[in-house]
Amino acid sequence: MYSNLKDLLYCLTKGTGLHIGVLFFGHRGNVKTSLPQAYKIHAAPLCDKVKGAPEAFHACYRHRNEKVRRALEQGEPFFSVCAAGLLEYTRPIWVENEVAALVFVGNACPKGGAPLLEQKLASYGLDKEAAAFEITADEMVRYAEVVESYVCVLLADRSAALPQGTVPLIENLKNYIAENTAGEVDLAALARLFHYNEKYLGRLFKKHTGESFATYTNRCRMQKAAALLEQGEKSVTEVAAATGFSSVCYFNRVFKGFWGVTPTAYRLRK
């Protein structure tokens, strides 16, 4: 048996190009289910390249959030096709009559679907990438079922409690914020998503992070913006869009207020 969820996901996807991610909700989670960011979001070489096109970048985040809402509202697994034309499978994990987590199996090309994938990628000015993993729908379901079964085993392991002072609910909120810095991250919407009272959730978040929800979210955006500027691959306009700002002027103002210099000056300094 694998010692934790990360090891299982690594072994399932190694050498395949397939990507499997798990997003936890509410108060669920422990040491053995903790995952690095790459396994919490949809991340793969092909996805990263597609997201370089602004239109595809925003389409990707809209699609992801729509999948999360649909899975939580309906509570049933389903297939969908992402902005890049790749097949994805979303499976809710139920624990004690509530959705504890979602499993995402993606970066898959349906067998025989390569021509359609090439056409879709060409619409974004991209060439076909070998990273897309050809797989049947039934195989994707089996991958997700394996992950679901193991997550349930790990969540029941009382010896794997998180370190004292670490609250799974807060960690899950922070993970969700980190994944959605490109879009709107609203406390009221998250409260509905996580089934908590908005005011209670806001107070609990500040108690355990030392920051208000808005301050924490803004800091995450600014840290991501700084990292993107340091990489030097995106323009300031693209960095603004990638961190949830529709106005470059407003982004410049917020960035300077946080870092003390404009985005352009920050990039030159680094």
**pLDDT per residue as tens digits for the range 205-257:** 999 999 999 999 999 999 999 999 999 888 999 899 889 898 999 999 999 99
Residue 205's pLDDT is what?
Answer: 93
CA-nearest of 191, 186, 264, 177 to 224 is 177
Delineate the domains of the chain, giving CATH numbers in brackets. Answer: 5-161 (3.30.450), 180-270 (1.10.10.60)
Q: Determine the Cα–Cα distance for residues 153 and 133; give it in Å rounded to an integer.
A: 28
Q: What's the average model confidence in pLDDT over 47-65?
A: 68
**pLDDT category of residue 131 using cuts at 50, 70 and 90:** very low
Q: The whole model's pTM is what?
A: 0.72
* The residue to which tokens 């500027």 are assigned: 229
| All residues at 6 or more sequence positions from 233 whose CB lies less than 8 Å from its CB, including other chains | 52
Tokens of 60: 């990707």
CA-nearest of 28, 33, 29 to 7 is 33
Q: Determine the Cα–Cα distance for residues 57 and 74; give it in Å rounded to an integer.
A: 26
Q: Report helix, strand or coil for 168.
A: helix
DSSP 181: T
Q: Determine the Cα–Cα distance for residues 245 and 224; give it in Å rounded to an integer.
A: 12
Q: Report helix, strand or coil for 90.
A: strand
Backbone φ/ψ region at 90: left (φ over 0), alpha (ψ -120 to 50), beta: beta
Q: Report helix, strand or coil for 126.
A: coil
Biggest alpha carbon–alpha carbon distance for the chain: 53
CA-nearest of 196, 221, 209, 198 to 170 is 209
- Angle among Cα 24, 30, 32 to the nearest 5 degrees reads 100
- Angle among Cα 32, 144, 182 to the nearest 5 degrees reads 75
Position 25 pLDDT exceeds 90: no
Q: For 154-209, what is each residue's pLDDT tens digit?
A: 988 876 566 666 788 888 888 888 878 887 788 988 888 777 889 999 999 999 99
Q: For 65-88, what is each residue's pLDDT tens digit?
A: 788 889 988 999 999 987 667 888
| All residues at 6 or more sequence positions from 139 whose CB lies less than 8 Å from its CB, including other chains | none
CA-nearest of 27, 253, 263, 54 to 161 is 27
Element (H, E) at 108: strand 98-110
Q: How many CA atoms lie within 13 A of 185 on its CB side?
A: 22
